[in-house]
Amino acid sequence: MRLIIILLLNVFAFSAMAQTKQEVLFKVEFVNSYCGGARPTPEIIAELSIPRVLTNSQILLIPVGKKSKKAICMITNEKGEVKTKLSPGTYSVKMGKKYDKTMNINYDSSCSQMSKKVWETIELKQDQNTATISLVFQCNPCLPPRP
């Protein structure tokens, strides 16, 4: 009987550790792809390759390989940061419907190919309290190519 109690306590302790949420500060940054018609200058390419913070925008994290596929919705602040509590694991990153349109990002939430796209996959480890989400926005596939 004592052995059964010890085994049950170990199972309970292990499952409690697996479900432990930790506070994580995410920094969200992005780069745009060049979507003009003419060949870009080296200066334009260099400028586009510099990561910028994604401010006041909705990011969705979807757990990978877990029973619950419920998205965790986060909105970045003016510094491109957001703090939330998450369990360690792997998450797919998608963009939400609300985003800062003044940033001129190559994203259109009305384009179903873009709104369904997984932009990045991140792995959150035990006791990790910071993470960077780096998004690379390609050209809008719902628009005709520019001349």
- Of 86, 90, 104, 119, nearest to 47 by C-alpha is 104
DSSP-derived pairing of the beta strands 22-32 and 130-137: parallel
Place of tokens 């989400």: 133
- Residue 38: its pLDDT value, please? 85
Q: What is the pLDDT of residues 45-92, one digit of tens each?
A: 999 999 999 999 999 999 998 776 789 999 999 999 999 999 999 999
The domain segmentation of the chain, as residue ranges, is 21-137
Q: In which band, very low, low, confident or very high, does the pLDDT at 13 lie, cut at 50, 70 and 90?
A: very low
This prediction's pTM: 0.80
Provide the β-strand partners of residue 95: 59
CATH number of the 21-137 domain: 2.60.40.1120
Task: Kindly tell me the burial class for residue 137, based on how many C-beta atoms sit within 10 Å of its own C-beta (0-12, 13-18, 19 or more).
Answer: buried
Q: What is the mean pLDDT of residues 8-34?
A: 75
